[in-house]
Amino acid sequence: MKKPHHEVVDAVDIAAAAAVLEEGGLVAFPTETVYGLGADAENPAAVARIYQAKGRPNDHPVIVHVAPGADLDYWVSEIPQEARQLVAAFWPGPLTLILKRAGHIPDAVSGGQDTVGIRCPSHPVAIALLSAFKDGKGGVAAPSANKFGNVSPTTAQHVRDEFALDDEDEGSISDEDACSAQLLNTVLEGGPSQVGIESTIVDLSRLATHGPVLLRPGHISAEQIADVIGRLPAAPDQAAPRASGTLESHYAPRTPVTMLDGDALTATLARLHAKGIKVAVIAHALPTLAPSQRLLPADPAGYAYGLYAALRDMDQTGADVILVQTPPQDPQWLGVNDRLRRSVFGSAGIIDSLLAFP
């Protein structure tokens, strides 16, 4: 039998979760982008537990989440005018700024770099948690609440699935999962994340030499940023800060994923079906072609909202391959295409090898 989960978060749950953070524990919480796995950003041992639970290399920096109205001067050593403009325009919201870090930010948060990523999320449960934690003066270090390399969670159930929190039979989960489950003291419920893909990341730490740099595209577009600061953020250069979410192999389900235009997808599907190969399909503009198919909205915001749940659900179907209809390539689709490109990484040649199999 599964444990009952709180459907609605109340002030008592928030206070309890804030106390868990203050004691050095981990809390998974909803944000408008994806669910985060949080720890006190000023407690290096607590931050180390995030890396342990995720199975993530510990030299990768994590984003510090702050409450609305937080004192940016406390967290960063230099605040350029562009940062103040972007904060005024987009916080609370799905935008992370990379800035020169203040001296007291632990290396565990910054990945040993001289910068810190900081964002104020807009999800009401995240705001309530950040406002309760250390009376709104703390910072919660939080990567997405998934195992390293996996698809980010956009519901509380996805988080429980990632860390095997519903498995009561201790014998059925690995030591590593049991360890993660213990570390993850609390999962706050907040419904499906409204944006559905991770925050836009803009590097403002090297303005004088490189200008603003878009490290990760997201719901807030480069054009919207340019409208506020008067300069279009550039694509990442060789010297741009490392970002784990920008590794090629991120956001990948276990099933191989491949992208095809509508006609090619239909033809390939017929050939795979003819060989008895099980296929799952994610489309935005195709009739129903396969028993396991998810139709996502043909607009970038609606598509982003449904993308990770679709990847997770299609991953559960037992298909040998997931075929994704290539979305439009216009600038508004940059965030979606970036995540899909990483999901298909490593699956090159999968169709040929499936068809070659006798």
Given a contact cutoff of 8 angstroms between Cβ atoms, the answer to whether 202 and 86 are in contact is yes
User: According to CB under 6 A, which one of 138, 139, 196, 241 is a site residue for ligand TXA?
Assistant: 241
Which range touches Mg ion (CB under 5 A), out of 40-48, 138-146, 302-310, 340-348? 138-146
User: According to CB under 5 A, which one of 43, 144, 157, 293 is a site residue for Mg ion?
Assistant: 144
**Partner from ligand TXA, Mg ion, none contacting 131, C-beta within 5 to 8 A by type:** none
Rank residues 201 and 351 by Cβ distance to Mg ion and give the closer one.
201
Given a contact cutoff of 8 angstroms between Cβ atoms, the answer to whether 216 and 246 are in contact is yes
Sheet containing strand 36-40, strands side by side: 184-187, 26-29, 36-40, 140-141, 63-65, 115-119, 95-100, 200-203, 213-216
110 binds Mg ion, rule: CB under 5 A:
no
**Partner from ligand TXA, Mg ion, none contacting 31, C-beta within 5 to 8 A by type:** ligand TXA
The CB-of-166 to Mg ion minimum distance in angstroms stands at 22
245 binds ligand TXA, rule: CB under 6 A:
yes
The burial of 281, by beta-carbon neighbours within 10 Å (0-12 exposed, 13-18 middle, 19 or more buried), is given as buried
User: According to CB under 6 A, which one of 31, 221, 325, 337 is a site residue for ligand TXA?
Assistant: 31
The CB-of-27 to Mg ion minimum distance in angstroms stands at 17
Residues sharing a CB contact under 8 Å with residue 19, sequence separation 6 or more, in sequence order = none
335 binds ligand TXA, rule: CB under 6 A:
no
Site string for ligand TXA, 191-210 (x = CB under 6 A): -------xx-x---------
Q: In this structure, what token pair is assigned to residue 106?
A: 């632990």
User: According to CB under 6 A, which one of 18, 21, 63, 173 is a site residue for ligand TXA?
Assistant: 63
In angstroms, the Cα distances linking 34 to 156, 161, 205, 261, 318 are: 10, 15, 25, 28, 25
The CB-of-265 to ligand TXA minimum distance in angstroms stands at 29
Torsion angle, alpha carbons of 122, 126, 128, 129, to 10: -150
User: Which spans of this chain sit near ligand TXA (rule: CB under 6 A)?
Assistant: 31, 33-34, 36, 60-63, 96, 98, 110, 113, 115-117, 119, 121, 142-144, 198-199, 201, 215, 241, 243-246
